[in-house]
Amino acid sequence: MSISLNEIQAPIASEMQQFEKKFRASMKTRVLLLDRIMSYIVKRKGKQMRPMFVFFMAKLFQESITDATYRGAALIELLHTATLVHDDVVDDANYRRGFFSVNALWKNKIAVLVGDYLLSKGLLLSLQNDDYDLLKIVSNAVKEMSEGELLQIEKARRLDITEDVYFDIIRQKTASLIASCCAVGAASAGACKEDVEKARLFGEKVGIAFQIKDDLFDYGTAEIGKPVGIDIKEKKMTLPLIHALRESDWMTKRRVIYNVKNNNGDNKRVQKVINFVKESGGIEYTIQAMNRYHAEALAILHTFPDTPSRRSLEQLIAYTIEREK
């Protein structure tokens, strides 16, 4: 990796610090239990790529970051965190980014209520400041994420996901969030409708490339970011496997699908599927697809003026496909 996320973030380091202060303040509550949980959630912050996309995109249109942009970034964090807390309940997950999940520490009932609280905080933040355009962008992303998750659950039962459906799922589940970050950044800086839509489409392309990279980790040789083979164990059909099955004869396809359906966490069966994908060109095909979306994102970005913020966004999207976790 030629450049680290910290180096990419350097031009907006002061804005990120300011954002963190504002976000912590927005999470404060007078209910002791809720305040303790909010503090725990804030401490678990990940790479913080979402606010980075918001700020860099805003700076493409306006050099100084306004309160509207800070509120937009906070709105995304609040609504996204709400969906993650609810996801952990749905998935019965005990960990999130190496930390115990909220439901693991405080049980499902409290986790659901915390998710509802975060959702209402985000809605009120926008309504109290008349940020209706930002609220519309982010609410649409949350709707898309929910639809994508349900579509994946529906298709996983039958293991009949085609490449088109796969891209529909990741566009809704993952790309819609990064798309909303970019659209919110542009809209909060006063960009016109056409530029806001261009920013959204740019974010969508980046988000798809990001998720494809994540799916490739499942076929790695070491535990990077997540355990190898976890998607196969969970019967998730991702692009490497979809392509490999499409290129196979009927008998091979039947055998591989049987191994996916009945792996029961058996590492030998999972490894057989991984080997099959690698031998069938699934990895190379998927890398090509990822690079294609990266190139399309760059093409959109290059329609904007060449500024330090645009160069930072170029580095950020390069990071999404070169990262090692």
Contact between 317 and 297 under an 8 Å Cβ cutoff? The reply is yes
323 falls within a domain: no
So what's the pLDDT on residue 38? Answer: 82
Q: Highest mean pLDDT: which of 62-66, 151-155, 280-284, 300-304?
A: 300-304
pTM over 0.85: yes
The model's confidence at residue 31, banded by pLDDT at 50, 70 and 90, is: confident
With residue 37 as reference, give the H or E element that holds it. helix 32-43
Q: In residues, how long is the chain?
A: 325
- Reply yes or no on whether the pLDDT at 273 is more than 60: yes
For the chain, how long is the longest CA-to-CA vector? 62
145 falls within a domain: yes
Q: Give the dihedral sign, CA 73/76/82/83.
A: negative
Domain that holds residue 294: 13-317
Contact between 240 and 281 under an 8 Å Cβ cutoff? The reply is no
The model's confidence at residue 225, banded by pLDDT at 50, 70 and 90, is: very low
43 falls within a domain: yes
So what's the pLDDT on residue 265? Answer: 66
2 falls within a domain: no
322 falls within a domain: no
Instruction: Judge residue 153's burial from the number of C-beta atoms within 10 Å of its C-beta, 0-12 exposed, 13-18 middle, 19 or more buried.
Output: exposed
So what's the pLDDT on residue 193? Answer: 94
Contact between 205 and 297 under an 8 Å Cβ cutoff? The reply is yes
Computed over every residue of the chain, the mean pLDDT equals 86
1 falls within a domain: no
So what's the pLDDT on residue 227? Answer: 58
Cα distances from 147 to residues 153, 161, 172, 263, in angstroms, run 10, 15, 7, 27
- Reply yes or no on whether the pLDDT at 1 is more than 70: no
The model's confidence at residue 210, banded by pLDDT at 50, 70 and 90, is: very high
Lowest-pLDDT range of 34-43, 58-67, 69-78, 303-312:
34-43
Domain count, the chain: 1
So what's the pLDDT on residue 310? Answer: 93
Q: What's the angle, vertex CA 240, arms to CA 239 and CA 245, rounded to 5?
A: 95
7 falls within a domain: no
DSSP bridge pairs for 226: 224
Contact between 214 and 321 under an 8 Å Cβ cutoff? The reply is no
287 falls within a domain: yes
So what's the pLDDT on residue 223? Answer: 44
So what's the pLDDT on residue 42? Answer: 77
- Reply yes or no on whether the pLDDT at 221 is more than 60: no
- Reply yes or no on whether the pLDDT at 97 is more than 70: no
How far is Cα 322 from Cα 187, in angstroms, rounded to an integer?
A: 29
Write a three-state SS string for the chain.
CCCCHHHHHHHHHHHHHHHHHHHHHHCCCCCHHHHHHHHHHHHCCCCCHHHHHHHHHHHHHCCCCCHHHHHHHHHHHHHHHHHHHHHHHHCCCCEECCEECHHHHHHHHHHHHHHHHHHHHHHHHHHHCCCHHHHHHHHHHHHHHHHHHHHHHHHHCCCCCCHHHHHHHHHHHHHHHHHHHHHHHHHHCCCCHHHHHHHHHHHHHHHHHHHHHHHHHHHCCCCECECCCHHHHCCCCCHHHHHHHHCCCHHHHHHHHHHHHCCCCCHHHHHHHHHHHHHCCHHHHHHHHHHHHHHHHHHHHCCCCCCHHHHHHHHHHHHHHHCCC
Residue range 243-266, pLDDT digits in tens: 999 988 888 888 888 888 876 667
Mean pLDDT for the stretch of residues 84-100: 76
CATH number at residue 184: 1.10.600.10
